[in-house]
């Protein structure tokens, strides 16, 4: 009686073989390549800042922090939303 634990339908003999075939990897395990949680937090913070500016009716020229800050500062100086 042979029990297989393959979940992809390819009939791998073991669960480990099935996972290897799916090329499963641990998230943020390649920090030497710059793919770590810090970079993700910076990305999320930048997008939150952009979303906040858009909610105020401000249209920054891009999603980078310096572009968003420029649009926010221009809006404050003009007294109306930067578009």
Condensed to tens digits (0 to 9), the pLDDT of residues 8-66 reads 777 788 888 888 888 877 766 766 666 677 778 888 999 999 999 999 999 999 989 99
Residue 71 and residue 78: Cα distance in Å, rounded? 10
Q: Please indicate whether residue 4 or residue 74 has the higher confidence score (pLDDT).
A: 74
- Residue 35 DSSP SS3: strand
In the prediction, which pLDDT does 76 show? 87
pLDDT at 1 over 50: no
In the prediction, which pLDDT does 46 show? 94
Confidence of residue 6 (pLDDT cuts 50, 70, 90): confident
In the prediction, which pLDDT does 3 show? 57
- Cα–Cα nearest to 53, from 65, 35, 36, 43: 65
In the prediction, which pLDDT does 4 show? 56
């Amino acid at each position: 009686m042979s029990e297989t634990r393959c979940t992809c339908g390819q009939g791998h003999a073991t669960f480990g073989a099935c996972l290897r075939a799916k090329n499963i990897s641990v998230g943020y395990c390649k920090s030497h390549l710059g793919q770590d949680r810090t970079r993700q937090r910076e990305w999320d913070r930048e997008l939150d800042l952009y979303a906040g500016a858009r909610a105020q009716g401000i249209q920054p020229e891009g999603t980078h922090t310096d572009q968003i800050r420029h649009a926010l500062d221009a809006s404050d100086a003009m007294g109306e939303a930067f578009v």
